[in-house]
């Protein structure tokens, strides 16, 4: 698998850059401009993108999509191989000689065409979250043919086509993606030597957008459980930049208190504001949020428009954009609500102290060696850790 990784670590940051759509993203608001060199990185893909593209796949009428959880791993490049003591903080990454292995979670949709033994799948491509691909069921195997066309995306006025590829990590050869189906038909597991690649080329693995391995998909049981507590990772007030919004990066786990997966389509969240002890729910007004048809205080976890409500597969980060100056408040809170098993379970509000947490000294690497290696959650090398999630010497660290 090592041979395969070398083709991808340099271009991993493309995955999130395409989803920005001009907003102040979580990474950008924390001192990282994702698109400063993307034009040069993508120029070699223009010829392939301008070829005649095939037809995008549409979901047949009469099929009902089911919400599943997509899980796996990817690699964040580590240029330095310095070794330091384990930093404090939450850590579920693994080190390899090619970089840090990062756990990935996302939501996908599966629609089963039982009459034709086919499955339609949506959500495998971050820049094109509504794109469908399909596979064929035979016995306890689901085969998704390689080379399927997701669609095209636009970056700085240029159109780029994206394709689903499977790759054998040992031989670097293109292959179909073959999943094992569990006996209860609720778990799909991809062979550990097969990688799922989202590529700018229909036939080549050297023009990728992102890639994943150790892949599985799960249909969670519908149980009445308490969801795991959410958290606010960071906030940013863009009013200082002359904008009319703030940014909140939140983490909403897709599991319960016993670390069992829960159904994403039964999960939602609320945002709270506290000023001088007066607590109020933030109202997402339909006049400000194109994804909403009516005003709302409760937002479905599955809502993702890659603009006002943006989801990042890595580290389960959601970014939302209140149209107010967050610095005018003392605290901001997030609460999860779960409707599994016909009951409603609500977490306590997790609070973030805006003027304390957002201005604390970043000293996590104060005792590290001078050649410390620090990356943000998209794999971009940074000189200092930022508030939120960082990869420091191969370890995942949350800086409060």
The beta-strand segments (E) located in 91-157 are 94-96, 99-113, 118-122, 132-138, 141-144, 148-155
CB–CB of 269/228 below 8 Å? no
Report the C-alpha gap between 229 and 208 in whole angstroms.
35
| Complete domains list, the chain, with CATH | 2-218 (no CATH), 231-357 (2.60.40)
This prediction's pTM = 0.72
Q: Please, what's the b/e burial string for 21-43 (b: 16 or more CB within 10 A of its CB; e: otherwise)? A: eebbbbbbbbebebbeebeeebe
CB–CB of 140/131 below 8 Å? no
207: pLDDT confidence band, cut at 50, 70 and 90?
A: confident
How do residues 56-65 score in pLDDT, each as one tens digit? Answer: 999 999 999 9
**Residue with the larger pLDDT of the pair 216 and 315:** 216
Report the C-alpha gap between 4 and 171 in whole angstroms.
8
CB–CB of 209/127 below 8 Å? yes
Average pLDDT over residues 112-126: 95
Position 387 scores a pLDDT of 56
With 60 as the cut, is the pLDDT of residue 88 above it? no
How do residues 5-15 score in pLDDT, each as one tens digit? Answer: 334 333 333 44
Instruction: Compute the CA torsion angle 280, 245, 128, 217 (nearest 10 deg).
Output: -30
Report the C-alpha gap between 206 and 200 in whole angstroms.
9
With 90 as the cut, is the pLDDT of residue 167 above it? yes
377: pLDDT confidence band, cut at 50, 70 and 90?
A: low
Average pLDDT over residues 328-337: 96
């Amino acid at each position: 698998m090592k041979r395969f990784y070398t083709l991808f670590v340099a271009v991993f940051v493309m995955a999130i850059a395409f989803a920005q759509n001009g907003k102040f993203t979580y990474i950008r608001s924390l001192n990282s401009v994702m698109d400063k060199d993307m034009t040069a990185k993508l120029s070699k893909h223009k010829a392939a993108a301008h070829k005649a593209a095939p037809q995008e796949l549409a979901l047949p009428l009469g099929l009902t999509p089911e919400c599943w959880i997509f899980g796996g791993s990817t690699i964040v490049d580590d240029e330095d191989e310095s070794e330091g003591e384990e930093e404090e903080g939450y850590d579920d990454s693994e080190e390899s000689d090619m970089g840090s292995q990062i756990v990935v979670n996302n939501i996908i949709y599966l629609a089963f065409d039982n009459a034709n033994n086919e499955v339609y799948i949506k959500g495998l491509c971050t820049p094109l979250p509504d794109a469908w691909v399909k596979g064929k069921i035979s016995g306890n195997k689901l085969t998704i043919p390689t080379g399927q066309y997701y669609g095209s995306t636009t970056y700085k006025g240029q159109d780029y086509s994206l394709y689903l590829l499977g790759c054998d990590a040992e031989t670097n050869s293109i292959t179909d993606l073959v999943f094992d189906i569990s006996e209860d038909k609720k778990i799909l597991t991809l062979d550990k030597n097969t990688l799922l690649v989202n590529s700018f080329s229909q036939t080549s693995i050297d023009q990728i957008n992102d890639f994943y391995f150790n892949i599985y998909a799960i249909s969670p049981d519908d149980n009445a459980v308490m969801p795991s507590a959410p958290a606010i990772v960071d906030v940013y007030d863009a009013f200082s930049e002359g904008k009319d919004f703030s940014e909140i990066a939140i983490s909403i786990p897709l599991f319960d208190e016993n670390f069992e997966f829960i159904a994403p389509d039964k999960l939602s969240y609320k945002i709270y504001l506290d000023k001088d002890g007066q607590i109020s729910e933030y109202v997402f007004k339909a006049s400000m949020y194109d994804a909403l048809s009516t005003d709302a205080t409760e937002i479905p976890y599955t809502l993702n428009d890659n603009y006002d409500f943006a989801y990042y597969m890595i580290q389960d980060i959601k970014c939302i954009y209140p149209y107010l100056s967050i610095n005018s408040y003392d605290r901001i809170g997030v609460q999860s609500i779960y409707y599994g098993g016909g009951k409603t379970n609500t977490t306590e509000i997790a609070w973030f102290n805006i003027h304390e947490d957002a201005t604390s000294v970043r000293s996590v690497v104060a005792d590290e060696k001078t050649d410390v290696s620090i990356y943000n959650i998209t794999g971009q090398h940074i000189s200092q850790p930022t508030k939120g999630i960082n990869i420091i010497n191969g370890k995942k660290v949350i800086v409060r």
